[in-house]
A = this chain, B = another copy of it.
């Protein structure tokens, strides 16, 4: 991504704003220390009819995985934490619609690196809840930590 021109970064920001997704959530999973696994990704979608053209866009990024869904939609996903951080840092200033989401995910990633106790984890949980509000601005699901 470092070698990418600012025009190309801006192009990817536009593509993501138009038809992509920046996502983070906590999935209950008892094998994790605080009872939740953090799932985050940046995804691009496109109809399978335009695979060849879509691949040209995906090739601009040095990471990510293509998956064809059963309904024919192609999903290109960046899901490794360090790749999400690198990608968002590179494009966030060019985003027009999803900049708050990008900034929040970057904040969440940072909080996650400094978790020592339950209190820290609760702060992370609350931050992730504000993300849900950004994306849906509908009902808020309050997550309570298991004792």
Contact with B along A106-126 (1 / 0, CB 8 A): 000000000000000000000
Residue among A6, A11, A56, A97 having the largest count of chain B Cβ atoms under 10 Å: A11
Interface SS, A side: helix
Residue among A8, A10, A44, A60 having the largest count of chain B Cβ atoms under 10 Å: A10
Decide: A57 and B10 in contact? CB cutoff 8 A.
no
Number of copies: 2
Of B7, B16, B17, the residue contacting A10 (CB under 8 A) is B7
Decide: B7 and A94 in contact? CB cutoff 8 A.
yes
Decide: A50 and B97 in contact? CB cutoff 8 A.
yes
Is the C-beta of A69 less than 8 angstroms from some C-beta in chain B? no
A48 contacts which chain B residues (CB < 8 A)? none
Is the C-beta of A18 less than 8 angstroms from some C-beta in chain B? yes
Is the C-beta of A64 less than 8 angstroms from some C-beta in chain B? no
